[in-house]
Amino acid sequence: MAPLLKVETLSIAFKTRKGEVQALHEVSFEVAPGEVVGVVGESGSGKSVSAYTVIGLLDQAGRITHGGVEYDGKPVTGRQRELRGREISMIFQNPRAALNPIMPVGQQIADVLKRHALAGRTDARAKAIELLRQVKINDPEERVDSYPYELSGGMCQRVMIALALACSPKLLIADEPTTGLDVTTQKATMDLVRDLTRARGMSVVLITHDLGMAAEYCDRIVVMEKGHVVESAPVAQLFTAPKHPYTQKLIAASPGPRSELADLTGGLPEAPPSIAPPRQRAPGPERLLEVVDLVKEFPKRGGGLFGKKPAPFRAVDGIGFQMMRGESLGLVGESGCGKSTTSSIIARLQDATSGSVVFDGQDIAQHPAARFARMPERGRIQMVFQDAHDSLDPRWSAAAAIAQPLRRISGMRDGAAIARRVGELAEMVGLPSNLLSRYPHQLSGGQKARVGIARAIATDPLLLILDEPTSALDVSVQAVVLQLLDRLRRELGMSYIFVSHDLNVVRLLCERVIVMNRGRIVETGTAEEVLHAPKDAYTQSLVSAIPHFEPERLRAS
């Protein structure tokens, strides 16, 4: 059977201030009709550049120096505009950047349908609502009029998927399509893509750093490293008998249901330093945190029935839990379950509607967030944010970012002392001193994550709240960062609240897990109990949705 897509000895170079840089080196792979091909590799390996070339969105600084791309037996050059959307569609990694911020999401979907003559003015809205329903957005009749800024990151990603599938293309290029989605929505989304592939004979190119997802949904996998294809094989063959050392390293660094934290960085060149003796903190109550009957409500838009104000949305619904000193606690659940709202209230970034947050013997919820930001207690609770890039000021160097809490919270004024402390913090997180003068755009994802961690521990906090700190990192970088976080917790005597969609990562880093659903706690227990023998039906659905690869299962298939 002739391939639908054929990339043959494709080489691409980019013009830079320092001359031309070769991004792709004679890359070749094919995609057959109805086939799902996974393209895996770390950031900078050339995965996305290959995809952008296929769809005609290559940056102006880039040019093809050798080879080319064929679609349905014909070169794509010169006809990419007519192919884009109708024949070849793409799901982009950053949905907020791809969506129009000043247009309702339903109108954006309707415009795509009308442009390709798949809907008229009368039925475009109804078809947009149906597409939103297919990608598992709750209350699509209400969400169709929402703007991107009113939706969570996960919801924006689902809108992007609806846009890409609107015209039923023959080839779908999915560039990290489930970034930011919880495991059940991720599974539902990928199941939908798989079902469409089978029902309509669609082909899919899945670009991902999640090897578990690639193993579960792909027929064949192409592994890329530094612009080269280093290995290509059917799924079972690649995961049971990887040939290239780079493929072996990626597989070893991927957390699975049976992996251990110490094993993930085996063979990685950037292993963290040895563990120092744990720090002895000043004595205090053994119970560090107690959350009691916590409630957070948000007002709804509109006038409601007969002009009455609609009832507010309750994001956190009367939850309570305790946390001991030195403990690492995982907070898990689907998007919108209330875990990020809960963590931001504990971090005093927003106020609760009611309830108390007793931290180190003091109810900090009684202080408004704006006032708490100026109190000395601010330094004892710090946060590492999900997006390491967006959480850093682009105008500040890494050193300035790390120094900010030393000046604003710790009250340090001596420039020499601040510089010494910044150097110490950089060394603690494994950030080379020559990178301290660089700005965020000059740092890799892993380096920016280290800056965020160094900034968070600068005030010597008792509690560190980590909101999806490794979700956008490559598996090998993620493994090193997880080892770093585990080492810092023991060295500095901190406690962690780890908010994450990745249950395998939670199991590796956390001793106890709390599962939330629709603002309430549905299950709590040790990580082994909750993730290996869940009692609640909702938790069971979360655990069963985790994508992973098991050599024994793949050999049997």
Q: What are phi and psi of 389, to 5 degrees?
A: -75, -50
Give the count of alpha carbons within 13 A of 127, CB side only: 21
Name the residue with tokens 């080879």: 67
Tell me the mean pLDDT in the region 277-304.
76
Q: Which amino acid is at 52?
A: Y
Helix, strand, or coil (residue 70): strand
Tell me the mean pLDDT in the region 86-100.
84
* Per-residue model confidence as pLDDT tens digits over 409-442: 888 889 999 999 999 999 888 888 899 999 998 8
User: What is the DSSP code string of 236-291?
Assistant: HHHHHS--SHHHHHHHHHS--TT--HHHHTTT-TTPPPPPPPPP-PPP--SEEEEE
For residues 524 and 322, what is the distance between their CA atoms, to the nearest angstrom? 11
pLDDT of residue 445: 76
For residues 556 and 61, what is the distance between their CA atoms, to the nearest angstrom? 47
For residues 459 and 347, what is the distance between their CA atoms, to the nearest angstrom? 14
Tell me the mean pLDDT in the region 75-96.
84
Tell how strand 354-359 and strand 362-363 pair up.
antiparallel
Cα first-last separation, the chain: 24
Q: What are phi and psi of 162, to 5 degrees?
A: -60, -40
For residues 234 and 112, what is the distance between their CA atoms, to the nearest angstrom? 35
pLDDT of residue 36: 93
- Angle CA 388–392–393, to nearest 5: 160
Give the count of alpha carbons within 13 A of 469, CB side only: 33
Name the residue with tokens 């996960």: 154
Distances (CA, A) of 382 to 261, 347, 390, 443: 24, 7, 17, 23
Q: Which amino acid is at 46?
A: G
Tell me the mean pLDDT in the region 117-125.
84
* Per-residue model confidence as pLDDT tens digits over 22-65: 999 999 999 999 899 999 988 778 898 999 899 888 888 888 99
DSSP character at residue 84: B
CB atoms within 10 A of CB 457: 21
Taking a C-beta distance cutoff of 8 angstroms, is the pair 105, 148 a contact? yes
Whether the model clears a pTM of 0.95, i.e. scores above it, the answer is no
Bigger pLDDT: 2 vs 347: 347
Which residues sit opposite 20 in a β-bridge?
Answer: 15
Tell how strand 171-175 and strand 203-208 pair up.
parallel
* Residue 483 scores a pLDDT above 60: yes
Q: Which amino acid is at 281?
A: R
For residues 331 and 234, what is the distance between their CA atoms, to the nearest angstrom? 36
* Residue 1 scores a pLDDT above 60: yes
Q: Which amino acid is at 278?
A: P
* Per-residue model confidence as pLDDT tens digits over 155-207: 887 888 888 888 888 999 998 887 767 788 788 778 877 887 788 788 999 99
Tell me the mean pLDDT in the region 61-84.
88
Q: Which amino acid is at 94?
A: N
Domains and CATH numbers, the chain: 91-168 (no CATH), 311-548 (3.40.50.300)
For residues 425 and 396, what is the distance between their CA atoms, to the nearest angstrom? 17
Name the residue with tokens 């920016």: 448
Judged by average pLDDT, the poorest of 93-102, 246-255, 257-266, 282-291 is 257-266
Contacts of the segment 426-429: beta carbons below 8 A, 24+ positions apart: 426/398, 426/399, 426/402, 426/450, 426/454, 428/454, 428/457, 428/488, 428/491, 429/453, 429/454, 429/457, 429/484, 429/488
For residues 223 and 203, what is the distance between their CA atoms, to the nearest angstrom? 18
* Per-residue model confidence as pLDDT tens digits over 228-258: 999 999 998 998 899 999 998 888 888 876 6
Q: In the chain, pLDDT over 90 holds for what percent of residues?
A: 42
Taking a C-beta distance cutoff of 8 angstroms, is the pair 213, 546 a contact? no
Q: Across all residues in the chain, what is the average pLDDT?
A: 86
Q: What are phi and psi of 286, to 5 degrees?
A: -65, -35
* Per-residue model confidence as pLDDT tens digits over 524-544: 999 989 988 999 999 999 888
DSSP character at residue 73: T
CB neighbours of 165 closer than 8 A, spacing ≥ 6? 89, 131, 134, 135, 172, 193, 196
For residues 475 and 7, what is the distance between their CA atoms, to the nearest angstrom? 26
What confidence tier does 267 reach under pLDDT thresholds 50, 70, 90? Answer: very low
Element (H, E) at 341: helix 339-346
What confidence tier does 210 reach under pLDDT thresholds 50, 70, 90? Answer: confident
What confidence tier does 553 reach under pLDDT thresholds 50, 70, 90? Answer: low
* Residue 310 scores a pLDDT above 50: yes
Q: In the chain, pLDDT over 70 holds for what percent of residues?
A: 91
Q: What are phi and psi of 94, to 5 degrees?
A: -105, 95
Taking a C-beta distance cutoff of 8 angstroms, is the pair 521, 339 a contact? no
